[in-house]
Amino acid sequence: MCGRFTRHHTWREIHAMYRLTGADAGRNTEARYNIAPTQDVLFVTAGDNGCQKVREGRWWLVPHWAKEVPKFAMFNARSEEAATKPAFRDAFKMRRCLIPADGFYEWTKGEDGGKDPWYIHLPDEQPFSFAGLWAHNTALDITSCTILTAAAQEPMTALHSRQPIILEPSAYDAWLDPATSVDAATDLLRQDLDGDLQFYRVGREVNTTKGGVDHPGLIGPLNPL
C-alpha cells in the first residue's frame, strides 16, 4: 500500500519527466515531505496535441457518480481488481494518471509496540511516477486521484505485503492514453521500477500530519552513518 509520500525535488526536476507546456512546465510548487490521504496533490494526465497536463485534486478517489465523499479508504486501489471494481473501473478505462513523487513511507511494528516508519526511494532518490487513476465529480465539484498497488516484491516484502506501482518512464505515454485498452493498460502495470527500491528507518515524527508536520528532517535516517 501507500499511505504517505514525498515530493521534495524541485518542479524543474519533476517536470522533466513529462511533456508539459506553458504554466504547467513553469510551476513553482513547494516541496512536500509528508503528503497524506485526503490532501491535495498534483498529478499528470493526457493533454492536447500529444502533450500532458497537470491537475490538482484530493488524494482519495471520489468516483464521478458518487453522491458523497466515500468514507472507506480510496487513496489506494488494488491493481488486480481496479479494472472491474465499480469504484475504479471507469477511471481505469478512461482516466489514468501519473502521480509524481520521490519517496514514500511504510511502517513496521516496533519492539515497544509502536509504529516504526521507513522511508522508501529509488537509487539517488530520483523522482518517479506512481501509476494512478483520477476522476472528476461534477455534482460535488471534486477532482481526485488514487494510487494503484500490487503484491510486494523484493525488497519491499521485508516491510509489507503490498506496494505502490512505480511505472517505467517508457510506459507513461501508453498508460495516459485513453485509447489504450484495459487489457493493454493492465499489462503496462508490469513495467515497473519496484525492484529497484531502497529504504531506511526514519523518526516517528512522520507518523502524524497534525500541526503541519512537513519538513526535510522527516526523511533523514534515524541512525545516520
Question: For the chain, which domains are there?
Answer: 5-219 (3.90.1680.10)
For residue 20, give the C-alpha cell: 508539459
> Can you give the pLDDT at residue 157?
95
pLDDT in tens, 179-222: 999 999 999 999 999 999 999 999 999 998 777 899 999 999 98
Write down how long the chain is.
225
What pLDDT score was predicted for residue 224?
62
Rounded mean pLDDT, 37-60:
95
Mean pLDDT computed over 128-142: 98
- pTM value is 0.96
DSSP 8-state code for residue 83: T
Please state whether 180 falls in left (phi above 0), alpha (psi between -120 and 50) or beta.
Answer: beta
The confidence score (pLDDT) of residue 31 equals: 94
Catalytic residues: 2, 106
For 153-179, what is each residue's pLDDT tens digit? Answer: 999 999 999 999 999 999 999 999 999
Q: Does the structure show a pLDDT above 80 at 51?
A: yes
Determine the straight-line distance between the first and last CA of the chain, rounded to whole angstroms: 29
The CA distance from 27 to 29, in Å, is 6
Tell me how many degrees the CA angle 103-107-110 measures, rounded to the nearest 5. Answer: 140
Long-range contacts of 178-186 (CB under 8 A, 24+ apart): 178/46, 178/94, 178/95, 178/96, 180/96, 182/83, 182/92, 182/93, 185/83, 185/92, 185/96, 186/79, 186/83
